[in-house]
């Protein structure tokens, strides 16, 4: 009878192959999850844009013009951030002053709203990444105002910014 040894153990190479395959699968799952998360936030943002456009339309019908934007000159990144915040606060204050616009603002998903829903406190609307939306309007071009999200990188004036004009 031949002396036969059955090797029931696992070699180091086999273990490394299994770990490598599991790492690839985990990376694939994580990238898909991040992509779906970003798509979901963009879809929510488009709904927010539509509601804000409706509120702006109601404001225009009531007041005869869109809310003015006092300043649109930007300098450094910090200046741009601060100006965008000022634009957003002015927009929400103006929209809050018109009852029909205020009612539309109250329909925005509570996840994207900061502030009290009472009639005394204007709501502040944010995007899915926790940043406020910039408001840009030039009355000389005759077009509809633009709302801008800083996007996933949370910085304005970068390639991932999302504009209401895209929807």
What pLDDT tens digit does each residue of the chain (167 aa) get? 556 666 677 889 999 999 999 999 999 999 999 889 889 889 989 999 999 999 999 999 999 999 987 665 544 555 667 788 888 888 888 998 899 998 998 888 777 777 765 656 667 788 889 888 898 888 888 789 999 999 999 888 889 999 998 87
Tokens of 23: 């790492």
Question: For residue 163, with 0-12 CB atoms within 10 Å meaning exposed, 13-18 middle and 19 or more buried, which class applies?
Answer: middle
Helix (H, G, I), strand (E, B), or coil: what is residue 136? strand
DSSP code at position 133? P
pLDDT value of residue 77 = 52
Q: How far is CA 44 from CA 41, 77, 95, 117, in A?
A: 5, 26, 20, 20
DSSP state of 126: B
Where exactly are the structural domains of the chain?
44-166
DSSP one-letter code for 108: S
Which residue in 102, 103, 163, 93 sits closest to 133, CA to CA? 163
Question: Which of 89, 146, 148, 153 shows the shortest CA–CA distance to 121?
Answer: 89
Considering the four listed CATH numbers 3.40.50, 3.30.70, 1.10.3470, 3.30.700, the one that applies to the domain covering 44-166 is: 3.30.700
Q: Reduced to 3 DSSP states, what percent helix, strand and coil does the chain have, rounded to the nearest 5?
A: 50, 10, 40
DSSP category for residue 110: G
Q: Is 86 exposed, middle or buried (0-12, 13-18, 19+ CB in 10 A)?
A: middle
For the full predicted model, state whether its pTM sits above 0.85. no
- Name the phi and psi angles at 111, rounded to 5: -65, -30
Those residues whose C-beta lies under 8 Å from the C-beta of residue 87, and which sit 6 or more positions away, are 69, 71, 72, 134, 135, 136
Are the C-beta atoms of residues 70 and 90 closer than 8 Å to each other?
yes
């Amino acid at each position: 009878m031949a002396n036969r040894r059955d090797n029931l153990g696992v070699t180091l190479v086999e273990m490394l192959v299994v770990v490598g395959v599991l790492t690839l699968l985990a990376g694939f799952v994580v990238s898909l999850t991040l992509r779906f998360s970003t798509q979901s936030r963009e879809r929510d943002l488009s709904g927010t844009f539509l509601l804000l456009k409706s509120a702006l339309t109601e404001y225009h019908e009531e007041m005869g013009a869109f809310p003015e934007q006092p300043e649109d000159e930007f300098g450094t990144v910090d200046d741009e951030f601060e100006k965008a915040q000022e634009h957003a606060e002015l927009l929400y204050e103006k929209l809050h002053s018109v009852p029909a616009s205020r009612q539309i603002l109250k329909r925005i998903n509570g996840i994207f709203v900061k502030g009290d829903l009472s009639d005394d406190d204007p709501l502040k609307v944010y995007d899915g990444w926790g940043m406020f939306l910039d408001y840009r309007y030039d009355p000389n071009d005759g077009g509809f105002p633009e709302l801008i999200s800083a996007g996933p990188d949370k910085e304005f004036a970068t390639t991932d910014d999302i504009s209401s004009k895209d929807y």
